[in-house]
Amino acid sequence: MSCTGGPSRWDEIAGVSATLFLSRGYAAVSLRDIANHLGLRPATLYHHCPGGKNELYGRSVGAALGAYEAGLRSVGEAAGARTSASESRLGPQVHAMALWLSEKLPLDRHRIVTLDLPALADHGLAVELEMRLDRALLAPFVDVISEAQGRGECPPLLDLSIAARAVLALTLGFGATLTRPTALGPARSPEATQQTHQDLRKALDLLLPSLQGAHSLSGEGNAAPTPASLPKR
């Protein structure tokens, strides 16, 4: 079954649903929770999404992941365009993409893969969403590192997948401190946010020389994975 209803109404439902699912987890969110946030009766959600919670999760989270991928790619392209021909593009691109992603909803990839997706009734949907998760979060970083490799900014034996995962792990780790509610309330102070951004920049500055100067992150003599090893768009 597929979701029905006007696009503007569905966009609102999908946005609220994805926010709740990604921040709390699949099991912790009920259709009543979503309906209450929207000011609707739970039965109304079935009118828009007849497959219920399982379908609503797949459609809303899938749309959110598509937006994350588009945002990361756009930010990376803009950062690269601002550099001169004589400058390395990789550093500015990775910094811009990581800072952008760190300010978004808490994206707990481990929880999504180990708890949320196995809870879905549709195994095929779970597999598809895991592939889309990697496309959204990993593939943009793999691509900018691969392009840097093509320009000679990174060594030819650099393992692109591991390099991208290292950047993503730092980003999501620092991002969790920005988006996770604190003991003083859901919002962090501007000072705390600025400090976290500075810490993330420093962490990336420690990692980037390894990406640009290491002989291999996967062991000498191992073949380096390419972007083709990730799920295709």
Q: Could you read off the pLDDT of 167-182 as tens digits, one per residue?
A: 999 998 887 776 655 4
User: According to the model, what pLDDT value does residue 169 have?
Assistant: 92
Classified as helix, coil or strand, 101 is: helix
Higher model confidence: residue 93 or residue 187?
93
pLDDT value at 226 more than 80: no
CA distance 15 to 26: 15
Whether 227 shows a pLDDT value over 80: the answer reads no
Tell me the mean pLDDT in the region 43-72: 94
> What pLDDT does 85 receive?
86
pLDDT at 79 (0 to 100): 97
**2 vs 8 pLDDT, higher one:** 8
pLDDT at 12 over 70: yes
From CA 118, how far away is CA 99, in angstroms rounded? 30
Tokens found for residue 54: 């399982």
In this predicted structure, what is the pLDDT of residue 222? 40
Among the listed ranges 84-93, 178-187, 202-211, which one has the minimum average pLDDT value?
A: 178-187
pTM: 0.82
Q: Please state, rounded to an integer, the average pLDDT across all residues of the chain.
A: 85
The full set of domains in the chain, from first to last, is: 65-219 (1.10.357)
Rounded to whole angstroms, the maximal C-alpha distance in the chain is 60
Cβ neighbours of residue 55 closer than 8 Å, sequence gap 6 or more: 1, 2, 3, 49
Question: What's the burial of 66, exposed, middle or buried (CB within 10 Å: 0-12/13-18/19+)?
Answer: middle
Per-residue confidence (pLDDT) for residue 157, from 0 to 100: 87
Tens-digit pLDDT profile for residues 114-148? 999 999 999 999 999 999 999 999 999 999 999 99
Segment (H or E) for 175: helix 160-179
pLDDT of residue 189: 73
Model pLDDT for residues 89-109, shown as the tens digit of each residue: 999 999 999 999 988 876 888
Cα–Cα distances in angstroms (integers) from residue 165 to residues 58, 156, 172, 184, in the given order? 24, 18, 10, 32
